[in-house]
Chains A and B, each alone.
Chain A
Amino acid sequence: QSVLTQPPSVSAAPGQKVTISCSGSSSNIGNNYVSWYQQLPGTAPKLLIYDNNKRPSGIPDRFSGSKSGTSATLGITGLQTGDEADYYCGTWDSSLSAGRWVFGGGTKLTVL
């Protein structure tokens, strides 16, 4: 059971928009930056969004992030078949003395 809760799967047609939610608590999302990671099949994860809503260099503006309270959302517009991947949210969790990093369980995006 992951500390952060994501839907197991989402799907949409090419060109459409999709959102992926990530729900946590005050010890993680509520008081820390959220980041999002894309993992294409058979590859290592890649940073997609950091500090809730910032995109690293090279990430297209079709990808966006937002945070409100103890939840965060990843948005993808203009869906392409190449966006089919697993997406994970992550953040720091300060519920334990030494702290720990936590991930959501991952969301599989299918572009129909």
Chain B
Amino acid sequence: EVQLVESGGGLVQPGGSLRLSCAASGFTFSSYWMHWVRQAPGKGLVWVSRINSDGSSTSYADSVKGRFTISRDNAKNTLYLQMNSLRAEDTAVYYCARASSGSLVSWGQGTLVTVSS
């Protein structure tokens, strides 16, 4: 069974940093592109970032470019999102998702990030 389990969310002050993790199991992690998607309270889904299967290529939404870094450790079957210079508007539930056949086929349960003083 495919499982994606996010962790690392919490309350952080504006300007602070946080690193999210997504532990993958049930599939060959190193074969798939992975994405981060976020959802602010009461709002829609917003794509954040993606990384290719070997970690050599990444892309970001304009709203997080230069502040967030996506990475992966295929030996540990884990996806990461390093978030720096956090702003109130980054407050959201962050989901990791596995990509395949041009779609986001599997999603984690999400981890809540709250940026507030």
Interface of A with B (CB < 8 Å)?
2, 32-33, 35, 37, 39, 44-47, 50-51, 56, 86, 88, 90-92, 96, 98-106
Interface SS of B by simple majority: strand
- Cβ-defined contact, B104 with A37, below 8 A: yes
For this complex, 28 residue pairs linking A to B, each with C-beta atoms less than 8 Å apart, are A32-B102, A35-B103, A35-B104, A39-B45, A44-B107, A45-B45, A45-B95, A46-B107, A47-B103, A47-B106, A50-B102, A50-B103, A56-B105, A90-B104, A92-B102, A96-B59, A99-B59, A100-B50, A100-B59, A100-B60, A100-B61, A101-B35, A103-B44, A103-B45, A103-B46, A104-B44, A105-B44, A106-B44
Contacts of B37 in A (CB 8 A): 45, 101, 103
Measured between C-beta atoms, what is the minimum distance from B103 to chain A in Å? Answer: 4
- Which one, A35, A88, A98, A100, contacts B44 given CB within 8 A? A88
When A88-B44, A101-B35, A103-B44 are in contact, do A44 and B109 touch as well, CB less than 8 Å? yes
- Interface residue total, chain B, C-beta cutoff 8 A: 23
CB distance from A103 to the nearest CB of B (A): 5
Known: A44-B110, A45-B45. A90 touches B59 (CB 8 A): no
User: Does more than half of chain A's interface fall in helix, strand or loop, or is it mixed?
Assistant: strand
Would B101 and A50 count as touching, CB distance under 8 A? yes
Q: A47-B105, A56-B105, A103-B45 are in contact. List 6 more A-B contacts (CB 8 A).
A: A33-B102, A44-B110, A45-B107, A51-B102, A90-B104, A96-B59
Instruction: Tell me the B88-116 residues at the A interface (CB within 8 Å).
Output: 95, 101-110
User: What separation, in Å, do the CA atoms of A101 and B45 have in the docked complex?
Assistant: 11
B77 to A: closest C-beta gap in Å: 19
What are the residues of chain A within 8 A of B60 when measuring CB–CB? Answer: 98, 100
